[in-house]
Every structure is written in structure tokens, then in C-alpha cells.
Chain A
């Protein structure tokens, strides 16, 4: 990977005191459709991100990761969607904030990198125009300065020959370069919060590594808070400080990266780790997938949503038997867990070492 030149950004006075950049409290998102039962896609999700910290939201497709990120950005449609709880960016409440205010924050103070770089770029507009329009939108800047700044930005995210690339269209760039361009757009106004929604899923493995490295450097150098949404445990192992595992719209386990990989407590987390292929495993050893699919859930109101697929499940995982739903509880320093029958240690679960999953 080519060496990156990261230039110093003006220091942010806010956030230097270690206060969290983003605080999400009891966030819930309900989709209502006429004539249909409302669907609760996100339910009571709380977490916070400090400056320079990387927080991972992990889970399989449909568990509510992306909806969470869109709710934070205020990008969910107004109609048919109910967002509850609280999202604060540097203390400023975002839920229920007027559109105009949110638009001013988006791109300037918080930005997002999407999964598919090709479809996230407008095919009929040159890259340069798409980068400069962000600058012109949020910064008092002449067109000429904006072009110069855009060149600098593309250079900073490691796109060679940036002044030529500015004039090119998305289809003329490689996949990795497109994602770099998107990151450049997201970073144009040096936001304090960056949400990356599976930024490497559409890329091949070598490019993935470069993009992750780029994100890591940016976070370290600029003190940006990064929310990393992914289903890739390799990404989590390489990048995230804290990890929240989501299942069916709720956080079921929160821990620091090392703790999580060393001793996953939720059987779901354990299952995820066990289903990752390992280099140090025996040759030909079968992988251990989690039974069933993400559709085999029961509503949280009736018990643990993961119970139908869980090897540890017992009768009291159901609300009917236990008399209450499974709560998210303190589980040792820095850990939270939503499970009545977690994996116990010192027994080492299959495939649960940090090095194994990190690859």
C-alpha cells in the first residue's frame, strides 16, 4: 500500500476532554405499514463513541445495524417510520431536530461511508464535482479553493494523480479508488463522527485491507470517532476498540475487542467466532455454522430472539417461563450481556482466540 500523507487537521476544542462524540440512548426504530403489524427493527440500542475511538456494530444481515446508522444520521424516511430514544452528537439532540439543522450537521460534523462505492457515486457527475460540492455546501470557499482542497483530499486518501482523477467519472475508477473517493467526500469537512456501513463488503480482500488501514490512520490522526458497521469479524478484530453484537434489533453483547474474541459469552457471539475459518485449525476440520437462519427468531417480548437457534437455550429463555424478558446486564468490567445461559470459562470455546479470528 502506498504511504499516506496525513496532514494535520485543525485541533478540535470540543471532544478533547474525552467526552463522547456520540451518545445513543435507548434508540428504537419502528416501521409501520398500513394494514400490517409494526416491525421493530431497532430496539433499545444504547452505546457511545469517544473521540478517536472505533466502535463496531456487528451482526448478520437484517439485525438492524444499518437502520441504526441511518437513524443516527436522520436519513430514515419520515413517513412510516417511528424513531424513539435519544441520539446526541456532542450533546446536541438529533432525534426530532429540524431537517435544516440535520442537513447542516451531515457532511460537516457527521458523515457516512456506504457499502457499495459504485452505486453511492453519481454515474453522470465527475468525481471532482462530487467532492467539491460537499466543500461548497459546508465551507465558505471559492470554487477554485474547493478544487484545490479536493485535490488535496484525494491525495490524502491515497488516490494517485488526483488532479486528473477529479475530472473522471466513477466508472473510470477501480473499486478501491471509488471507495477512497467516497471516504474523501466523507472526510471533506473533517467530521467528528464517521459512520462506515460495511465499507469493505463490495471490495476484494487486498483492497479491503488498504481501506481499513486508511480508516484506521484517519481515526488515529484526526481523533474522529468511528462507528464501524460490519458482519466481518476480521474487520472487527483489526479495527474496533469496542464491539457491540446485535441480534434481531437489540444489542446482545458488548465488550472490548480483546475480551470479546478471547471469551465470547453470548452463545451467538461464540457461534460467530466458531464459524470463521482459521489458519491454525486442523486441516480439513469442518467449520461450525450457527444453526438455522436469521429469520428463525421469536419476538423479544416472548423471550430471547436467539433461543430457537441456540445450543444453550433452556426453558427460562422464554418470557412465559421466566416471567420477564432477557435483560442486558453488567457482565464484568466493561462488558454487558443479554443472556441467561452464557458460555462459561475457563473452557476455551472452539475458534475463540483473538489471533484465530483476526487472521
Chain B
């Protein structure tokens, strides 16, 4: 009886001693720092980050890492109808239909693919968010006008839209990026508007209004930060789509006219004529696209969880 009482008393004393103390790492840490801390503890985030970083490093140092010249048609003489040489000494992944080293082309191609993905997604996010903030912040007729505009963009098939824009802007890699970005804009605009409208009706917005905070401050300081997480997740997903869409445009002959720059999407579409001869020609660039997309998606998902204070423990 007394032993039990002692244990309980000690337990209570311990609790009392700890009361009022904040567990380490929680007391007043900034949002970004604690988000980063939680990212580091999350294996999914680590995996995603490692993938993304590896590809970024490869893209940055591509000329140094590529074992051969990606344009040299070294093994052209060995290619016959119905035969493309596979893996052999000096060519770990074999060569493509023009006798160029596949590994070197993949490594150098990461530059162009990542550039298209990142730049077009960034463009899409920036413009889409601007429209979304406009619609979500003002509501009413501004919302109606902006959203009808976005609907019009959305109603045109994205490929058709991209083709028209590529043709309009002339054929170069920047018009390709802009074309892809334009097809992304409606997604981000709608997404941000929707989540902002949902936040606008929340209690803390009413409370901020009751304190006389001006609208600009409410929109940018309160509503926007709470509406961003779906946009962040969508951006990571869009990176993957952008790379694939670039491939589709390349396939239609609207890609980068500079053939000296290898690109995964173009490699993928070129490979389709030789699927029965050497499927690896399609598989390797496809795997690269999938793994990069996976890396960005994992990182984005982990980022959303880390940024959401409700997930904080």
C-alpha cells in the first residue's frame, strides 16, 4: 500500500517538476526551422530529397560526368536494320539508333529535362498564383471574371494550347516552357482560389476583421499562408507532368529544335520506332522521368506535412 503510494507520489513530483516546461525543440521555434527539423526526421522526405539532389547534381556536372560525347555517333557502323548494339565495354547502357552512347545522353539530357520541368512549373505557379490570389482575395465580380478566363484556358485541350503557343512564339526551348506553363496556370489558379475561399470563411479571418486588420494584410498574412499547401503539392506533381508534356511536344516536332541538346522526352519519342528492336532505348529515359517525378512528389508530400502546423507533434 505504502509502496504504491510512494511510487505515485514520486510520479506526481516528477510531473510537477516538469510542469510548465516545454519539451525540447517545441518552445517557440520558427515555422520554417521546425518544418526543416521534422523533414529531417521523415524517411520519406530524406528519400525524396536524395533523389532530387542526385539528379540536380548530375544535371549540374553533366559534362564532367558523361563518359563520352553524347553527340558522337561512335558505333554508327555497327547498326543494321533490326539490330542496335546493347551493353558492351565502354557503353554500359548501349547506344541509341544513331550509335550515340545512351548513358552519356541520359546524363546530359537531365539538364534540359529538369530545366524545362522547373522553369515551366515555376512560371505556371507564379502566374497561376497571381490569378488565384486575385480571385480568392476579392471574390465577387473579380472572381467571376478571372475564373471565366481560367475556364476558357482550361477548356482548350492542353496539347492543342501548347502547340498553338509554340507556333505563335516560334520554335525554341523558351516557347516550349511558356507553352507548358500556360497549360499549368489554370490548375494553380483554381487550386489557390478554392483553398483561399475556404480559408476566407474561417474564424480567424473574422477575428482579424474584428480587430480592424486591413484586407491586404489579412489576405497575404493570414489567408495565403494557410492556403499554400495544396499548391506546393500540386507543383511537385506538375514538375513530372511538365517533363512528360515536353516529351509529347518534342514528339510532335515542336520540341527544342537544337538537336545538339539531348532531352529525355525527345529520346523517349525517338525510341518508339525501335521498341521491338531495343526496348531499353525507351525504358531508360522513362525510368529517369519516373524517378525524378517520384523524388519531387515525395519531397512535396513531406513538405506539406512538415509545413502544416496541425501535423506538428
Name the interface residues of A177-217: CB closer than 8 Å to any CB of B: 182, 185-186, 188
Per the CB 8 Å criterion, the residue count for chain B at the interface is 28
- In the docked arrangement, what's the CA distance between A139 and B210, Å? 16
Q: In chain B, what residue has the closest Cβ to A168? A: B28
- Contact check, B31 vs A185: say whether CB atoms are below 8 A apart: no
Interface size class of A (residues with CB under 8 A): 35 or more
- In the docked arrangement, what's the CA distance between A155 and B20, Å? 16
A172: chain B residues within 8 A (beta carbon): 22, 26-28
- In the docked arrangement, what's the CA distance between A277 and B303, Å? 51
Name the interface residues of A145-179: CB closer than 8 Å to any CB of B: 160, 164-169, 171-172
A260 contacts chain B at the CB level, 8 A cutoff: no
A105: chain B residues within 8 A (beta carbon): 212
Q: Which of B86-94, B103-111, B201-209 makes up part of the contact surface?
A: B201-209
A26: chain B residues within 8 A (beta carbon): none
Name the interface residues of A99-120: CB closer than 8 Å to any CB of B: 103-108, 111-112, 114, 116, 119-120
Q: Tell me how far the C-beta of A220 lies from the nearest C-beta in chain B, rounded to whole angstroms.
A: 23
- In the docked arrangement, what's the CA distance between A182 and B208, Å? 10
- Contact check, A107 vs B206: say whether CB atoms are below 8 A apart: no
- Contact check, A111 vs B211: say whether CB atoms are below 8 A apart: yes
- In the docked arrangement, what's the CA distance between A138 and B225, Å? 23
B222: chain A residues within 8 A (beta carbon): 122, 125
- Contact check, B213 vs A119: say whether CB atoms are below 8 A apart: no
Q: In chain A, what residue has the closest Cβ to B28? A: A167
A137: chain B residues within 8 A (beta carbon): 211-214, 217
B158 contacts chain A at the CB level, 8 A cutoff: no
- Contact check, B211 vs A185: say whether CB atoms are below 8 A apart: yes
- Contact check, B27 vs A119: say whether CB atoms are below 8 A apart: no
B27: chain A residues within 8 A (beta carbon): 164, 167-168, 172
B310: chain A residues within 8 A (beta carbon): 123, 171
- Contact check, B210 vs A73: say whether CB atoms are below 8 A apart: yes
A122: chain B residues within 8 A (beta carbon): 204, 208, 222, 225-226
Q: In chain A, what residue has the closest Cβ to B222? A: A122
- In the docked arrangement, what's the CA distance between A94 and B226, Å? 32
Knowing A116-B203, A168-B27, say if A75 contacts B208 (CB, 8 Å): no
- Contact check, A138 vs B212: say whether CB atoms are below 8 A apart: yes
Within the complex, which residue of A104, A111, A164 is in contact with B28, where a contact is CB–CB below 8 Å?
A164
A124 contacts chain B at the CB level, 8 A cutoff: yes
B26: chain A residues within 8 A (beta carbon): 172
- Contact check, B309 vs A186: say whether CB atoms are below 8 A apart: no
Knowing A106-B211, A124-B309, say if A133 contacts B204 (CB, 8 Å): no
B82 contacts chain A at the CB level, 8 A cutoff: no
- In the docked arrangement, what's the CA distance between A112 and B213, Å? 13
Within the complex, which residue of B22, B207, B312 is in contact with A171, where a contact is CB–CB below 8 Å?
B312
- Contact check, B202 vs A119: say whether CB atoms are below 8 A apart: yes
A104: chain B residues within 8 A (beta carbon): 212
- In the docked arrangement, what's the CA distance between A165 and B226, Å? 21
Q: Tell me how far the C-beta of A226 lies from the nearest C-beta in chain B, rounded to whole angstroms.
A: 15
The residue in A121, A124, A126, A160 that gathers the most chain B C-beta atoms within 10 A of its C-beta is A124
- Contact check, A75 vs B212: say whether CB atoms are below 8 A apart: no
Within the complex, which residue of A75, A126, A129, A185 is in contact with B206, where a contact is CB–CB below 8 Å?
A75
B157 contacts chain A at the CB level, 8 A cutoff: no
B5 contacts chain A at the CB level, 8 A cutoff: no
Name the interface residues of B194-241: CB closer than 8 Å to any CB of A: 202-204, 206-214, 217, 221-222, 225-226
A134 contacts chain B at the CB level, 8 A cutoff: yes
- In the docked arrangement, what's the CA distance between A112 and B204, Å? 12
- Contact check, B31 vs A124: say whether CB atoms are below 8 A apart: yes
Knowing A103-B212, A137-B214, say if A171 contacts B28 (CB, 8 Å): no
- Contact check, A171 vs B309: say whether CB atoms are below 8 A apart: yes
- In the docked arrangement, what's the CA distance between A119 and B208, Å? 12
A129: chain B residues within 8 A (beta carbon): 221
- Contact check, A114 vs B212: say whether CB atoms are below 8 A apart: no
- Contact check, A123 vs B309: say whether CB atoms are below 8 A apart: yes
Knowing A124-B226, A167-B28, say if A133 contacts B206 (CB, 8 Å): no
Question: 7 A-B residue contacts at CB 8 Å?
Answer: A75-B209, A104-B212, A105-B212, A106-B211, A119-B202, A122-B204, A172-B27
Nearest 9 pairs of A and B residues by beta carbon: A167-B28, A107-B212, A106-B212, A107-B211, A119-B203, A120-B207, A112-B210, A122-B204, A124-B225
